[in-house]
């Protein structure tokens, strides 16, 4: 059923949405309609199916749609309420928003928190079961920009729905989110002017990248099946530019490399002059929302922003805002050595294409997040990246008396959280080395006054150190530490400030607010820089006796030439105690800023004590807010574990074989000993029998054997029939005793 706005003065018709409701509204009313009125007119929930909700694009689009009201994009941009106000009203009119259902490729992902916007979750469904769920939905969205294995399922889904149109209880819409890579090898619109961009009208001339032939085939299928009965089953293809924002996908390697700061120069693969068509993922979701609300006649849409950024432009801006600020060009082939880059990512990074989304800009009502592109909105994109991936800096300050173990604890905190250790002497040495290097480097493109600045500051520091016997005045120390805390690595990951500031005045000068930061005149809290002020302050303390005994027990090699010497350490300790008894001390400064300081009493000097202190710090600070182990580190760790496991098994086998050999030797020795004992026993028994048989033998030889022998001889001579009876009778007759 058509749902219409009807202009009662011009008799024109304005399609609103497939709500099953007809409404007569004047054009003036249409133009002045607010989002709240549109909700009253539409007053219908749309059930939206999205595949692979655990993938980057599908997840972001689902979150975007779940917070929007059906039909909200139909309102004119000049009269529409602010986006924040619309989203805040969603909770009150939940029945009029998009209901999100969809599939998950990973069972674990579907069970994770943060999926409350998904009404129903499906996992490993058979085609018959999936079709039942698709038939229940008003809009079916298939995203094939990330995983090519979804193409086959998307092709089956639209074919199956097309075959079931006769059973539709209400109109349905199928949206295929494809990729601009299906245009990658298209010939220029004008060979004489290759910079003329493509538009949606040129989609029949597009030619796909060799790795995206299946993508263009399903695009053609979707457009074809939507022509039969568009009022009942409308189909659309949205060719998305390379997506960015909300945590990143294709460009994630460059964000991660810049954020970690492991490489001094971020690589640009190839010349980097290729133009990459891009779009913020929220803007892509806005295009999808407009397609659902407007149901345009154009079936093939291009979703890109207005930028014409090259690969080099994008990488340079990323590393400038987030990382070391330096790039280097490397061969294209090096991209294939990066494990974090998939083949689809590499293809997208090397595309060279100029495309303009004319239809989208002229006909849709999109509240663009980054219409001018990723380079011009890099600050916003970086903040989204850090917030989405929970890559937030952790800033810690560790204070305490000398020799209490601040540096050891600070190093352990840095190792656990992957933070940067800011130690006063190390920071000064690093700054001097950097200035030495910078003063020797001559850049002809740099103005003379700028190139002289490092050398001038270096000379100033050296003169100040000469005047103060190797020490620097507070103003220079604070400048060095402040620059260190504002450096990209400390800005990104965070830092542990070790043993500084020591006084209220030092803290006030170190953390003062920049000129461009707004100052709250009504607040009694002293102004401070929110980007470098520590979030956690730990004060390690111990008794003076404990500290003195600890220093006395240090090796002479560690004490010699340091402030831990016998004549200097007591003075340092006394000075520290005196500073903290003043009315304005460093502890008071953090208390004024409502930064809780945790006092930790140190009572022992061993590793166990340091471990307990570190565990207490970790418990207070919480979980790390940075990247976990990389895939290479995980593989190396797994390899090390496998090596350890193999060595352990080899040792166990060797131990078992050795034990078996020892047992065999012991058994052989026991058997030999038992055999010897047995032989000895037999010999003794034999000798005993021999000894016992002598008198018996003598008795027989004397009294029995002569007569018996003679009887046997006679028996042999006579050979009677019954020799036994004959022998018995002979012995009876010839018994010597009988005679």
The DSSP result for 623-682, as a single string, is S--S----HHHHHHHHHHHHHHHHHHHHHHHHHHHHHHHHHHHHHHHHHHHHHHHHHHHH
Count of helices and strands (H, E) across the chain? 28, 18
Collect all residues with Cβ–Cβ distance below 8 Å to 655 and sequence separation of at least 6. none
Taking 70 as the threshold, does the pLDDT of residue 81 lie above it?
Answer: no
Is the Cβ–Cβ distance between 49 and 4 less than 8 Å? no
Selection from 368, 342, 317, 329 nearest residue 250 by Cα: 342
Do 33-388 and 394-621 have matching folds? yes
Phi, psi torsion values for 490, nearest 5 degrees: -70, -35
d(CA 539, CA 398): 6
Among 178-182, 194-198, 201-205, 564-568, where is mean pLDDT lowest?
Answer: 564-568
Q: How far is CA 442 from CA 328, 436, 437, 438, 455, in A?
A: 20, 12, 10, 8, 11
d(CA 7, CA 15): 11
**How much is the pTM?**
0.74
Q: How confident is the model at residue 114 (pLDDT cuts 50, 70, 90)?
A: low
pLDDT at 551: 82
Facing residues of 327 across strands? 266
| Per-residue model confidence as pLDDT tens digits over 639-690 | 888 888 899 999 999 999 999 999 999 999 999 999 999 999 999 988 888 8
**Coil, helix or strand for 577?**
helix
Superfamily for domain range 394-621: P-loop containing nucleotide triphosphate hydrolases (3.40.50.300)
Task: Please give the structure tokens belonging to residue 177.
Answer: 């989110």
Is the Cβ–Cβ distance between 61 and 141 less than 8 Å? yes
d(CA 684, CA 70): 111
pLDDT at 632: 66
Collect all residues with Cβ–Cβ distance below 8 Å to 363 and sequence separation of at least 6. 294, 296, 298
In the chain, domain spans:
1-32, 33-388, 394-621, 631-733
Give percent of the chain with pLDDT exceeding 90: 49
Report CA 726 to chain centroid distance, whole Å.
114
| Per-residue model confidence as pLDDT tens digits over 228-240 | 888 999 999 999 9
33-388 — its CATH code?
3.40.50.720
Taking 70 as the threshold, does the pLDDT of residue 691 lie above it?
Answer: yes
Q: Calculate the average pLDDT of the chain.
A: 84
pLDDT at 522: 52
Selection from 149, 126, 148, 150 nearest residue 50 by Cα: 150
Cβ-based burial of 100 (10 A; exposed 0-12, middle 13-18, buried ≥19)? buried
Burial profile 130-139: b = 16 or more Cβ within 10 angstroms, e = fewer: bbebbbebbb
Positive or negative CA dihedral for 215, 216, 217, 219?
Answer: positive
Phi, psi torsion values for 173, nearest 5 degrees: -130, 135
Among 20-24, 250-254, 324-328, where is mean pLDDT lowest?
Answer: 20-24
Taking 80 as the threshold, does the pLDDT of residue 36 lie above it?
Answer: no
Phi, psi torsion values for 607, nearest 5 degrees: -65, -35
Task: Please give the structure tokens belonging to residue 278.
Answer: 């891009």
pLDDT at 625: 86
Burial profile 266-291: b = 16 or more Cβ within 10 angstroms, e = fewer: bbbbbebeebbbbbbbbbbbbbbbbb
Strand pairing report for 118-123 and 242-244 = unpaired
Taking 90 as the threshold, does the pLDDT of residue 41 lie above it?
Answer: no
**Coil, helix or strand for 312?**
helix
SS3 annotation, 315-327: HHHHHHHHCCCCE
Taking 70 as the threshold, does the pLDDT of residue 75 lie above it?
Answer: yes
Positive or negative CA dihedral for 678, 683, 686, 688?
Answer: negative
Q: How confident is the model at residue 108 (pLDDT cuts 50, 70, 90)?
A: low
Q: How confident is the model at residue 521 (pLDDT cuts 50, 70, 90)?
A: low
SS3 annotation, 484-544: HHCCHHHHHCEEEEECCCCCHHHHHHHCCCCCCCCCCCCCCCCCCCCCCCCCEEEEEECCH
Collect all residues with Cβ–Cβ distance below 8 Å to 26 and sequence separation of at least 6. 7, 8, 9
| Per-residue model confidence as pLDDT tens digits over 295-344 | 999 999 999 999 999 999 999 999 999 888 899 999 999 999 998 899 99
Place of tokens 């060799």: 210
Cβ-based burial of 185 (10 A; exposed 0-12, middle 13-18, buried ≥19)? middle
Collect all residues with Cβ–Cβ distance below 8 Å to 22 and sequence separation of at least 6. 1, 2, 3, 4
pLDDT at 469: 82
d(CA 220, CA 207): 12
Helix (H) or strand (E) holding 346: helix 343-349
Q: How confident is the model at residue 524 (pLDDT cuts 50, 70, 90)?
A: low
Selection from 175, 54, 203 nearest residue 122 by Cα: 54
Contacts of the segment 451-454: beta carbons below 8 A, 24+ positions apart: none
Q: How far is CA 21 from CA 45, 165, 416, 636, in A?
A: 13, 21, 61, 63
Q: Per-residue pLDDT averaged across 408-420, rounded?
A: 91
Most confident of 5-9, 112-116, 612-616: 612-616
Q: Find the radius of gyration of the CA atoms of the chain.
A: 45
């Amino acid at each position: 059923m058509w749902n219409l706005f009807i202009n009662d003065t011009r008799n024109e018709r304005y399609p609103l949405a497939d709500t099953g409701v007809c409404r007569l509204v004047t054009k003036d009313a249409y133009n002045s309609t607010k989002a709240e009125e549109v909700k009253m007119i539409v007053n219908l929930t749309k059930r939206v199916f999205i595949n692979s909700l655990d993938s980057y694009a599908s997840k972001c689009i689902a979150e975007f749609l779940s917070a929007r009201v059906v039909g909200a994009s139909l309102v004119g941009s000049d009269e529409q309420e602010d986006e924040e106000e619309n989203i805040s009203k969603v909770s009150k009119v939940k029945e009029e928003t998009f209901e999100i259902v969809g599939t998950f490729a990973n069972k674990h992902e579907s069970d994770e928190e943060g999926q409350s916007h998904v009404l129903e979750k499906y996992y490993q469904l058979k085609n018959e079961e999936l079709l039942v769920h698709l038939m229940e939905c008003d809009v079916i969205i298939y995203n094939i920009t990330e995983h090519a294995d979804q193409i086959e399922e998307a092709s089956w889904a639209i074919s199956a729905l097309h075959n079931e149109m006769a059973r539709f209880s209400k109109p349905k819409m199928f949206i295929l989110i494809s990729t601009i890579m299906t245009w990658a090898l298209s010939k220029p619109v004008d060979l004489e002017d290759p910079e003329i961009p493509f538009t949606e009208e040129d989609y029949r001339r597009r030619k796909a990248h060799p790795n995206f032939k299946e993508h263009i085939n399903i695009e053609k299928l979707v457009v074809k099946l939507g022509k039969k009965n568009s009022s009942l089953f409308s189909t659309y293809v949205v060719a998305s530019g390379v997506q960015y924002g909300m945590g990143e996908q294709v460009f994630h390697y460059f964000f991660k490399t810049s954020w970690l700061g492991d490489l001094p120069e971020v690589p640009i693969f190839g010349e980097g002059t290729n133009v990459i068509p891009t779009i913020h993922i929220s803007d892509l979701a806005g295009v999808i929302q407009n397609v659902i609300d407007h149901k345009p006649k154009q079936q093939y849409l291009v979703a890109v922003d207005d930028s014409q950024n090259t690969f080099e432009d994008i990488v340079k801006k990323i590393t400038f805002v987030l990382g070391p600020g330096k790039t280097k060009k490397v061969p294209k082939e090096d991209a294939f050595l990066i494990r974090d880059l998939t083949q689809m990512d590499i293809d997208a990074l090397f595309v060279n294409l100029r495309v303009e989304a004319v239809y989208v800009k002229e006909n849709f009502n999109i509240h663009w997040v980054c219409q001018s592109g990723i380079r011009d909105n890099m600050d916003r994109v970086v903040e989204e990246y850090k917030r989405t991936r929970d890559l937030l800096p952790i800033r810690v300050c560790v204070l305490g008396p000398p020799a209490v173990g601040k540096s050891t604890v600070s190093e352990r905190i840095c190792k656990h959280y992957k933070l940067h250790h800011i130690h006063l002497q190390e920071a000064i040495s690093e700054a001097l080395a950097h200035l030495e290097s910078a003063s020797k480097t001559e850049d002809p493109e740099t103005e003379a006054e700028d190139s002289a600045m490092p050398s001038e500051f270096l000379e100033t520091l050296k003169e100040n150190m000469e005047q103060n016997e190797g020490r620097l005045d507070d103003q220079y120390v604070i400048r060095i530490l402040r620059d260190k805390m504002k450096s990209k690595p400390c800005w990104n990951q965070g830092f542990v400030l070790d043993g500084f500031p020591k006084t209220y005045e030092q803290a006030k000068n170190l953390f003062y607010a920049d000129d461009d930061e707004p100052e709250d005149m009504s607040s009694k809290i002293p102004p401070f820089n929110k980007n470098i002020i520590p979030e956690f302050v730990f004060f390690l303390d111990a008794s003076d006796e404990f500290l003195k005994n600890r220093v006395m027990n240090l090796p002479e090699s560690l004490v010699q030439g340091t402030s831990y010497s016998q004549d200097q350490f007591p003075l340092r300790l006394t000075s520290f105690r005196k500073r903290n008894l003043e009315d304005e001390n460093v502890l008071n400064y953090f208390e004024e800023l409502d930064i809780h300081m945790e006092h930790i009493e140190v009572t022992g000097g061993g590793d166990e004590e340091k471990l307990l202190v570190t565990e207490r710090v970790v418990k207070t600070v919480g979980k790390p807010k940075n990247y976990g182990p990389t895939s290479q580190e995980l593989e190396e760790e797994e390899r090390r574990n496998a090596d350890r496991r193999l060595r352990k098994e080899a040792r166990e086998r060797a131990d078992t074989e050795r034990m078996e050999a020892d047992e065999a030797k012991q058994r052989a020795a026991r058997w030999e000993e038992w055999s010897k004992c047995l032989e000895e026993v037999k010999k003794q028994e034999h000798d005993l029998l021999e000894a016992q048989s002598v008198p018996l033998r003598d008795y027989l030889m004397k009294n029995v054997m002569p007569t018996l022998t003679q009887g046997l001889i006679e028996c042999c001579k006579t050979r009677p029939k019954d020799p036994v009876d004959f022998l018995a009778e002979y012995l009876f007759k010839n018994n010597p005793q009988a005679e």
